[in-house]
Amino acid sequence: MSTHFLNTIVLILIFIIIVIGGVYFTHQKYGEKINNLEKQISNKKSQYQQLKDFREEVEKENKKLENIKYQLNNFPTMLINKKYIHQVLLYFEKFDSKGEFFEFDYKMNNINKKNETTECLYTLSGKGTFTKIENFINYLEYSPPLFFIETFSYTFNKNQEGTIKLLIKGIFIEKEKSNGRDIFSINPRKNYGNTYNPFNPLIKWNLPSNEKGLIDIRNARLVSLLKPNTAWVKLSNGQLKQIEVGDDVYLGEMVAVNMEEGSATFNLNMGGIRKTLVKTLNEKVANVE
Domain residue ranges of the chain, discontinuous segments joined by +: 1-74, 80-185, 217-280
254 pLDDT higher than 90 = yes
**Mean residue pLDDT across the chain:** 78
Average pLDDT over residues 144-150: 80
Residues 111-143 have pLDDT tens digits of 888 777 888 999 988 887 777 777 777 777 767
Bigger pLDDT: 193 vs 139: 139
Average pLDDT over residues 227-252: 90
Torsion of CA 181, 183, 189, 193, to 10 degrees: 150
The two beta strands, 117-128 and 162-173, are: antiparallel
Give the 3-state DSSP-derived string for the chain, with helices as H, strands as E and coil as C.
Answer: CCHHHHHHHHHHHHHHHHHHHHHHHHHHHHHHHHHHHHHHHHHHHHHHHHHHHHHHHHHHHHHHHHHHHHHHHHCCCECEEHHHCCCHHHHHHHHCCCCCCCEEEEEEEEEEEECCEEEEEEEEEEEECHHHHHHHHHHHHHCCECEEEEEEEEEECCCCCEEEEEEEEEEEECCCCCCCECHHHCCCCCCCCCCCCCCCCCCCCCCCCCCCCCCCHHHCEEEEEECCCEEEEECCCCCEEEEECCCEECCEEEEEEECCCCEEEEEEEECCEEEEEEEECCCCCCCCC
Bigger pLDDT: 12 vs 190: 12
270 pLDDT higher than 70 = yes
Average pLDDT over residues 10-32: 70
Residues 47-93 have pLDDT tens digits of 888 888 888 888 888 888 876 666 555 544 567 788 888 888 887 77
Confidence (pLDDT) at 186: 62
Cross-strand bridge partners of residue 274: 269
- Whether the bond into 228 is cis, omega within 30 of 0: yes
Instruction: Give, in words, the CATH class of 80-185.
Output: alpha beta
Percentage above 90 pLDDT, the chain: 17
99 pLDDT higher than 50 = yes
Confidence (pLDDT) at 233: 93
Q: What is the distance, to the nearest Å, from the Cα of residue 220 to the centroid of all Cα atoms in its chain? A: 43
